Amino acid sequence: MVEAINELRSAGVTQPVLLSAEGSYWVKVDSVPLQIFHASCLPDAFEFLLAVFFVFNVQYPHELRNCYSFLEKVLGMKPTTGKSAIVNELYSNCLRV
Protein backbone atom coordinates (compact mmCIF):
# COMPACT_ATOMS: atom_id res chain seq x y z
CA MET A 1 0.00 0.00 0.00
CA VAL A 2 2.78 2.42 0.94
CA GLU A 3 4.56 1.70 -2.34
CA ALA A 4 1.40 2.45 -4.36
CA ILE A 5 0.84 5.73 -2.50
CA ASN A 6 4.47 6.76 -3.06
CA GLU A 7 4.15 5.99 -6.79
CA LEU A 8 0.98 8.09 -7.02
CA ARG A 9 2.67 10.94 -5.17
CA SER A 10 5.75 10.84 -7.41
CA ALA A 11 3.49 10.82 -10.49
CA GLY A 12 1.85 14.01 -9.22
CA VAL A 13 -1.57 12.45 -8.57
CA THR A 14 -3.33 14.68 -6.07
CA GLN A 15 -7.01 13.72 -6.41
CA PRO A 16 -8.63 10.96 -4.35
CA VAL A 17 -7.92 7.51 -5.82
CA LEU A 18 -9.58 4.13 -5.27
CA LEU A 19 -7.20 1.29 -4.42
CA SER A 20 -7.71 -2.41 -3.80
CA ALA A 21 -5.19 -4.12 -1.56
CA GLU A 22 -5.01 -6.70 1.18
CA GLY A 23 -8.52 -7.91 0.31
CA SER A 24 -10.04 -4.49 1.04
CA TYR A 25 -10.86 -1.28 -0.76
CA TRP A 26 -9.08 1.93 0.13
CA VAL A 27 -9.32 5.58 -0.91
CA LYS A 28 -6.20 7.71 -0.98
CA VAL A 29 -6.91 11.23 0.25
CA ASP A 30 -3.93 13.60 0.46
CA SER A 31 -1.53 10.63 0.47
CA VAL A 32 -3.40 9.05 3.39
CA PRO A 33 -5.02 5.65 2.75
CA LEU A 34 -8.50 5.31 4.22
CA GLN A 35 -9.86 1.79 4.43
CA ILE A 36 -13.49 1.46 3.35
CA PHE A 37 -14.80 -1.03 5.90
CA HIS A 38 -18.39 -1.13 4.64
CA ALA A 39 -17.51 -1.74 0.95
CA SER A 40 -18.13 -5.39 0.17
CA CYS A 41 -18.06 -4.90 -3.61
CA LEU A 42 -16.62 -2.57 -6.23
CA PRO A 43 -19.80 -0.46 -6.70
CA ASP A 44 -19.82 0.28 -2.94
CA ALA A 45 -16.18 1.35 -3.14
CA PHE A 46 -16.86 3.64 -6.12
CA GLU A 47 -19.78 5.19 -4.28
CA PHE A 48 -17.47 5.94 -1.35
CA LEU A 49 -14.88 7.45 -3.71
CA LEU A 50 -17.51 9.75 -5.22
CA ALA A 51 -18.64 10.70 -1.71
CA VAL A 52 -15.07 11.69 -0.82
CA PHE A 53 -15.04 14.13 -3.75
CA PHE A 54 -18.37 15.57 -2.55
CA VAL A 55 -17.60 15.76 1.18
CA PHE A 56 -14.20 17.40 0.70
CA ASN A 57 -15.56 19.62 -2.12
CA VAL A 58 -12.94 18.39 -4.58
CA GLN A 59 -13.47 18.83 -8.32
CA TYR A 60 -13.19 15.75 -10.52
CA PRO A 61 -10.01 15.82 -12.60
CA HIS A 62 -10.89 17.37 -15.96
CA GLU A 63 -9.57 14.35 -17.84
CA LEU A 64 -11.85 12.00 -15.86
CA ARG A 65 -14.94 14.21 -15.52
CA ASN A 66 -17.02 12.17 -17.98
CA CYS A 67 -15.92 8.91 -16.37
CA TYR A 68 -17.01 10.09 -12.93
CA SER A 69 -20.25 11.50 -14.37
CA PHE A 70 -20.99 8.10 -15.92
CA LEU A 71 -20.36 6.39 -12.57
CA GLU A 72 -22.73 8.83 -10.86
CA LYS A 73 -25.40 7.97 -13.42
CA VAL A 74 -24.87 4.19 -13.14
CA LEU A 75 -25.02 4.37 -9.34
CA GLY A 76 -28.22 6.46 -9.46
CA MET A 77 -26.61 9.52 -7.88
CA LYS A 78 -27.56 13.12 -8.59
CA PRO A 79 -25.18 14.47 -11.28
CA THR A 80 -22.69 16.99 -9.94
CA THR A 81 -21.03 17.96 -13.23
CA GLY A 82 -24.10 18.92 -15.25
CA LYS A 83 -25.48 17.11 -18.26
CA SER A 84 -23.15 15.57 -20.81
CA ALA A 85 -24.31 14.28 -24.19
CA ILE A 86 -21.43 11.79 -24.25
CA VAL A 87 -22.33 10.35 -20.84
CA ASN A 88 -26.03 10.18 -21.70
CA GLU A 89 -25.30 8.39 -24.98
CA LEU A 90 -22.97 5.87 -23.32
CA TYR A 91 -25.51 5.20 -20.58
CA SER A 92 -28.30 4.70 -23.12
CA ASN A 93 -26.14 2.29 -25.13
CA CYS A 94 -25.37 0.29 -22.00
CA LEU A 95 -29.06 -0.04 -21.24
CA ARG A 96 -29.68 -1.51 -24.70
CA VAL A 97 -27.19 -4.34 -24.20
Find the mean pLDDT for residues 19-33.
90
Q: DSSP code of 61?
A: P
pLDDT of residue 36: 94
The residue ranges of every structural domain in the chain are 1-58, 59-97
- What type of residue is 65? R
Q: Specify the 3-state DSSP secondary structure of 29.
A: strand
Q: Is the pLDDT of residue 72 over 80?
A: yes
What is the C-alpha to C-alpha distance for residues 22 and 68, in angstroms, rounded to an integer?
25
Q: DSSP code of 64?
A: G
In the structure, what pLDDT confidence band is assigned to residue 97 with cuts at 50, 70 and 90? low
pLDDT of residue 18: 94
Give residue-wise pLDDT tens across range 41-52: 998 998 899 999
pLDDT of residue 17: 93
Q: Is the pLDDT of residue 83 over 80?
A: no
